[in-house]
Structure formats: C-alpha cells, structure tokens
Amino acid sequence: MIDFHFAPTPNGWKVAIMLEECGLEHRAILMRLTEGDQFKPEFLEISPNAKMPAILDHDNAGDPVSVFESGAILIYLAEKAGRFMPTDPLGRKETLEWLFWQAGNQGPMAGQLSHFVNYAPEGEAYARKRYAGEYDRNLGVLERRLRGRQYILGEYSIVDMMAFPWVFIAKPLGVSLDAFPNVAAWRERIKNREAVKRAIDLFKDQQNRGEQNASNNNILFNQGAGHILADRN
C-alpha cells in the first residue's frame, strides 16, 4: 500500500496519473493546504520541502520508504512497476533531461503565471508579462519536441505525465494552444486516457478555484522559513 499525500493541483495530478496508470494500490490522503497540513511535523518527515505530492510506500521488506518531489516519485514508481520509463542508457538520459526541463522550467514558470492570474490579479503587469512569456516559450519548446512524435520520448512515459498537467490548464491561465498544434494534439491524447481522467477527478470538489488569494491566506501564500522551523524550540 502506498500513502499518497495529494491536493488537486497540477503537481498532484502528475503522480495521481502514474498511480492510476500502473494500478498500484494506494490510499489518497487529501492535503488541506489552506489549513497548513503541509507544515505538520509528521508530513515534514515525509516531505522536507513542505510540498505535495509525497508518498510513503509500505510495500517493502523493511521500513516504509518516503519519496518527495514529483519527478523523484515518478522515477521511483516507474522503477517499482517496471513501466513508463526507458531502461536503455540513452532512453534514461532523455527521460532525465525532460523531467529536469519540466521541474526547472515549465513547472515553475507555469506555477508563477497561475499565481498572478488566479491568486494575485492585482500583481504588477510586469510579473504577469514575464511569466506569460516564459509559459509561452516552454510551449514552444514542447511544440518543437513533438514534431513527428506522439509523445515526448516517442512512447508514452512519465515525462508526459510530468508535463501534461500544466498544459492541461492552459485555458484557465488565459493561454490559447492555437499556435501549438502538436501540443494541442498531445494534450488531447493524454486527456482522453481513462487513468488520466480518474486522476484529474480525484477530490475534484476540493480544488481551490481562486477563492483563496495572496492577500487573505498567509498559510498558503507569503511563506517564509518560520513555516518550516516552527517546531525548532
């Protein structure tokens, strides 16, 4: 059994998709981020960065294994299940490249754009322009990569699961995919997979649709070291 600490966000969907695709036995534990579940000491033991998703895998001979950061979780689950990740050296190299691209570029830029579009609409115009431009640039990277390919590595893999969620919500971010036909077709292929549908619908009624914003919730936003070190005494 895998304890899956989850909130219905693009980052949470990445791992939810993998668990559904592999049919791994798991228990989804809803993280109430606006109430500070991510800063509870027991969760920090699993996820030192106080972010979800995170997993605790009880299906081991020894002690349960905790894994945090979505890219690391996807690699762990792919190796555990023996699915959705190439095993040859070149394929593994490409997998890591595109996972790091998502973790270091597409994800953070999309996340910042989402913040200013959905949670801080009063934010400076420069910030929205900056992150909208970076989101657009990363769509261009993905569009070019998908030329002549159905999926990022050719075959459906954890790389697609990692990158899909932030493209799935392009419209709510105010972005059209009309200029990115390869990306739009790729998004449609993934969106229609049954496992992906189940993952996206997980705790769907608990999604934060902008009700919380940067000015009215200092647990979810405006964090500092004090949130992590609250138990240091």
| CATH number where 113 lies | 1.20.1050.10
| CATH number where 22 lies | 3.40.30.10
In terms of domains, do 129 and 175 share one?
yes
Of 98-102, 192-196, 227-231, which gets the smallest average pLDDT? 227-231
In terms of domains, do 96 and 133 share one?
yes
Residue 233's pLDDT band, with cuts at 50, 70 and 90, is: very low
Listed in order, strand segments (DSSP E) in the chain are 2-6, 26-30, 54-57, 65-68
Strand order in the sheet with 65-68: 26-30, 2-6, 54-57, 65-68
Backbone angles phi, psi at 45, to 5 degrees: -65, -30
Q: Are 91 and 155 in contact (CB under 8 A)?
A: no
Residue partners of 46: CB distance under 8 A and separation at least 6: 5, 54, 55, 56, 66, 68
In terms of domains, do 171 and 137 share one?
yes
- Render 66-99 in DSSP notation, one character per residue: EEESHHHHHHHHHHHHT-SS--SHHHHHHHHHHH
User: Does residue 53 have a cis peptide bond before it, meaning omega lies within 30 degrees of 0?
Assistant: yes
3-state SS, residue 159: helix
Quick: pLDDT tens for 192-224.
999 999 999 998 877 665 555 545 556 666 677
Question: Is 233 within a domain?
Answer: no
Range of the domain at 125: 89-194
Q: What angle do CA 96, 100, 106 make, to 5 degrees?
A: 135
Number of domains in the chain: 2
Q: What is the mean pLDDT of residues 4-21?
A: 95
In terms of domains, do 114 and 54 share one?
no
